[in-house]
Amino acid sequence: MAKPIMIQGTMSNAGKSLLTAGLCRIFAQDGYRVAPFKSQNMALNSYITADGSEMGRAQVVQAEAAGKAPDVRMNPILLKPTSEKGSQVILEGQPIGNMTATEYYAYKHNLLPHINRAYESLSEENDIIVIEGAGSPAEINLKRDDFVNMGLAKMLKAPVLIAGDIDRGGVFASLYGTVMLFDEDERKHVKGTIINKFRGDVEILKPGLDMLCELIHVPVVGVVPYLQVDIDDEDSLTERFSKQGSSLGLIDIAVIKLPRISNFTDFNALEHIEYASVRYVSGVNELKNPDLIIIPGSKNTMGDLKWMRENGLEACILKHAAENKPVFGVCGGYQMLCETLKDPYGVEHGGEMKGMGLLKSGTVFEKEKTRTRVTGAFSKVGGIFKGLSGKIFEGYEIHMGYTASEAGNEGGSSLSNLTEINGNEKPDGMQNGNIYGTYVHGVFDSEEILSEIAAALMKEKGLEYEKHTSFNLKEYKEKQYDLLADALRESLDLEYIYKVIEEGI
């Protein structure tokens, strides 16, 4: 059976996910069989595994860092917010319905056997399990029936390292306060703290580190610098949304930052196009005059379209399209481009509404979610991106709706042809002039497709695209995981961490 180590944080975005991924990489490099585990994750960035199951993107990153195929046992419960008060509940990779927070907390005791079963199964196959907590473990109003932080640590007899984010200020107070709010039986699990996202001279910190150790009676295991590694982000707290840059690239790509944006990691690869800038915009003043507008996925397509309609972004996109400039919709963004959206079962928003009308099709939201990995090839593509014709890609589908051409409408055709993991073949998406829509997440991950998009956008500006470097997404990710591991080896006391893992509780 595997030995556990758990990373908790004083708050959300303290760096738990990244530290977990880095430790997974280190242990794998050191020859151990290692896997990540997070009993419950709340995020809109999800992933479809080889068997069609759904899990959180953070655990996918951690699995890749560990050299393992993503497996829903690593994240048995995923909550995908659909509104301010409710979420879709994904259990062991399968959606079981939407629940309000009150309904979920009344139901959650039923989930404990699933968590135990997933962890025990992983434990039988590995030497070390790196467990990630969720949010803050010191939320004293949520301690009852907790199975994500100290409740899970006690259940699994896992030693815990607490990470604090110094970049946001108050790190000593937050670490001290977190530990002091633990009960005595919880405190015995705490074996050390980590100061994360540090900028500056560590010598200046040392008096504070010594005082913290005296106050909470556990060592500081390391001071981790603010890391410049490019690894898929956990959720909407990503810095990508605020990192606009001082100037626009020769190619300006604007991604609409929807209130319930999901799977925005679809667009990370676009950042590797030479001469390009990728901006996330949420207002008319931010949009400016981009070369390409992308409408991403959403966990509430109709609600987010209504938001765009009210704040003027829809009108700007329609104007952009009327000027024969390209618009690309992915998943929920594809649905928004349609003539009509209907939600007869209330799976997202309920009711019916008019779409943007840029694609002559309609979307109906269904009770069953489509979840499958796919390979595909673009059909005969028209418009600015005609060079994509025949290009091959792979990715996954994850959506509630079904989109089809509206009866009697012409002027649109499918964008690509797909093969599902079960061998089933089907058309996907739609195109009409310079308007494109697809259900496939990951369609931009191919170097060949990135180059074609870049060349087409540059040609439209009267420029020639010259590619000076090659880009392979898988190789790039592997390099980033190695850089992360190198940085943690330099800043963490790994000898102490291995000792903690071996001794346990």
pLDDT, position 467: 74
468 falls within a domain: no
pLDDT, position 406: 59
CATH of the domain at 404: 3.40.50.880
Question: In the sheet where 276-281 sits, what is the strand order?
Answer: 276-281, 251-256, 292-295, 327-330, 435-438, 430-432
337 falls within a domain: yes
pLDDT, position 185: 95
Q: What is the pLDDT of residues 138-192, one digit of tens each?
A: 998 888 889 999 999 999 999 999 999 999 899 999 999 999 999 999 999 999 9
Q: What percent of the chain has pLDDT over 70?
A: 95
Position 196 pLDDT exceeds 90? yes
Number of domains within the chain: 2
CATH of the domain at 176: 3.40.50.300
Amino acid sitting at position 206: K
Position 275 pLDDT exceeds 90? no
Name the token pair of 162. 């607490």
Three-state helix/strand/coil letters over 93-131 = CEEEEEEEHHHHHHHHHHHHHHHHHHHHHHHHHCCEEEE
Average pLDDT of the segment spanning 233-252: 66
Beta bridge mates, 373? 396
Q: What is the pLDDT of residues 98-124, one digit of tens each?
A: 899 999 999 999 999 999 999 999 999
Q: Do 211 and 261 share a domain, yes or no?
A: no
Task: Please give the Cα distance from 51 to 93 (Å, whole number).
Answer: 9
Q: Do 215 and 290 share a domain, yes or no?
A: no
Higher pLDDT, 232 or 251: 251
Domain extent for 203: 3-231+478-503
Least confident range of 56-70, 92-106, 117-131, 325-339: 92-106
Q: Do 277 and 214 share a domain, yes or no?
A: no
What sign for the dihedral angle of Cα 66, 69, 395, 375?
positive
C-alpha angle 363/365/369, rounded to 5°?
120
Q: Do 308 and 377 share a domain, yes or no?
A: yes
Confidence bin at 249 (pLDDT 50/70/90): confident
Position 346 pLDDT exceeds 90? no
Say whether 92 sits in a helix, a strand or coil.
Answer: coil
Place of tokens 């196009």: 273
Confidence bin at 242 (pLDDT 50/70/90): low
Task: Please give the Cα distance from 476 to 482 (Å, whole number).
Answer: 10
pLDDT, position 411: 46
Beta bridge mates, 193? 162, 220
Q: Do 33 and 83 share a domain, yes or no?
A: yes
Q: What is the pLDDT of residues 348-379, one digit of tens each?
A: 888 999 999 999 999 999 988 999 999 999 99
Position 423 pLDDT exceeds 60? yes
Position 501 pLDDT exceeds 50? yes
Q: What percent of the chain has pLDDT over 90?
A: 81
Strands annotated E in 111-265: 128-132, 160-165, 190-198, 220-225, 251-256, 261-262
Q: Do 204 and 347 share a domain, yes or no?
A: no
Confidence bin at 408 (pLDDT 50/70/90): very low
Q: Do 187 and 302 share a domain, yes or no?
A: no
Helix, strand, coil fractions of the chain, as percent rounded to 5: 35, 30, 35
**Alpha carbon of residue 120 to chain centroid:** 26
Q: Do 129 and 265 share a domain, yes or no?
A: no
Place of tokens 């959206």: 341
- Catalytic residue ranges: 331, 441
Position 214 pLDDT exceeds 60? yes
pLDDT, position 250: 92
Position 26 pLDDT exceeds 90? yes
C-alpha angle 137/143/146, rounded to 5°?
85
> In this structure, how many other beta carbons lie within 10 angstroms of the beta carbon of residue 499?
12
pLDDT, position 232: 82
Average pLDDT of the segment spanning 304-327: 97
Position 470 pLDDT exceeds 90? no
pLDDT, position 83: 76
472 falls within a domain: no
Place of tokens 């530290």: 19
Q: Do 107 and 19 share a domain, yes or no?
A: yes
pLDDT, position 240: 62
Q: Do 286 and 412 share a domain, yes or no?
A: yes
278 CB-side CA count, 13 A: 21
469 falls within a domain: no
Q: Do 211 and 277 share a domain, yes or no?
A: no
pLDDT, position 143: 84
The phi, psi pair for 482, rounded to 5°, reads: -65, -40
Place of tokens 């070369």: 291
Q: Do 310 and 407 share a domain, yes or no?
A: yes
